[in-house]
Amino acid sequence: MPPSLYLGGSLGEQNKAVKELIMKKKKNRLPPFTPTDNNLIDSYLYKKMTNAARVAYLLLCRQRKNFYQTEVIFPYSQAQAYMNRNTWARAVKDLIACGLIEKKQEGGLYRRVNKYTLLGISIRGIDIATVKKVIIA
């Protein structure tokens, strides 16, 4: 047995020590969070977005399982807990106009769920912020 794994004592004492180590690791865990790119927050584009669009973008980012996942599913029924249906639709249109998301599939008559592709400012580059500066201003 390697010296790093040998804790000494009986098997029961070793199991107890291992359980304490596991519990200590769980205490040091961060609570669930949504990572956001600092380049996006510092950009001119983010400063000019409406608050509803910012919240909508964070809610869409929250649906990702890991940082590299780009396609998410988010129905209007989940958005209604945070904002009005019309406000959500306007925020999504703003995000599409800014180039931060693309709508892959729209719900509607056949009860399909909305699919969005998150593009992010790190993928598209800072040039979008300068392009939108001309459009927004």
12: phi then psi, degrees, rounded to nearest 5: -65, -40
- Compute the distance between CA of residue 8 and CA of residue 121 in angstroms, rounded to an integer: 53
Domain boundaries, the chain: 1-30, 38-136
Q: What is the pLDDT along the chain (137 residues), one digit of tens a residue?
A: 444 555 555 666 767 777 776 666 655 666 777 877 788 888 888 888 999 999 999 999 888 888 778 899 988 888 899 999 899 999 999 999 888 899 887 776 667 788 899 886 544 444 444 444 444 54
**Is the full-model pTM beyond 0.75?**
no
Instruction: Identify the CA nearest to 103 among candidates 40, 79, 81, 113.
Output: 113
What CATH number belongs to 38-136?
A: 1.10.10.10
What local confidence, expressed as pLDDT, does residue 52 receive? Answer: 95
Residue 33: per-residue pLDDT: 79
